[in-house]
Structure 1
Amino acid sequence: MKQLSCILIGALFGASCVASAFAQPSSRYGDPSAPKTRAEVKADLIAWLAAGYDPNNWWEYPDNAQRAGRIVAEQRARQAGIGVVQ
């Protein structure tokens, strides 16, 4: 009897693991607090570097990061078809 209950618990645990593996996130792109994938982080870094951000430039740190952030935000807004208001 103990062996049967262990098998049943194992089967239920396995089924729940398989079900959670196939579950889709509810609204990943609509939730800004959702964690980013590695590919998204790499794409963000490439976009910031292309916009002129230099992570080794400590002398102009806050200014160059903010400038690059504005440029990337404007580019993404244009790609999404949203008008940029200044």
Structure 2
Amino acid sequence: MKNLICAILAAVLIVPAVSFAQTSNGPVTRAEVRAELVQLEKAGYQPAAKQNHYPDEIQAAEARVQAADNAYASHGGAPANTAAAAPASMPVVSAN
């Protein structure tokens, strides 16, 4: 009886964590990529322009989008780009 209770308790605690992890790692849709590109262009990124400093230019645009989302969220709103947010693992490097 004790083993059955432990198994049920473990299942109740593990299943939500596993299901949550699976939903956040899904593939990015074409619409999400397009929405992110539109946001970056509004933040000043020009993909068609001559890019002498490609990583710096796109990272600066990503930082501006993130700063705008943080400012919006700090005033009680939800971030504008929740569906097309850049991955948290993507480092933002400032040009010095």
TM-score by length of 2: 0.45
Larger Rg, first or second structure (1 or 2): 1
Q: Which has the higher contact order (CA 8 A, sep 6+)?
A: 2
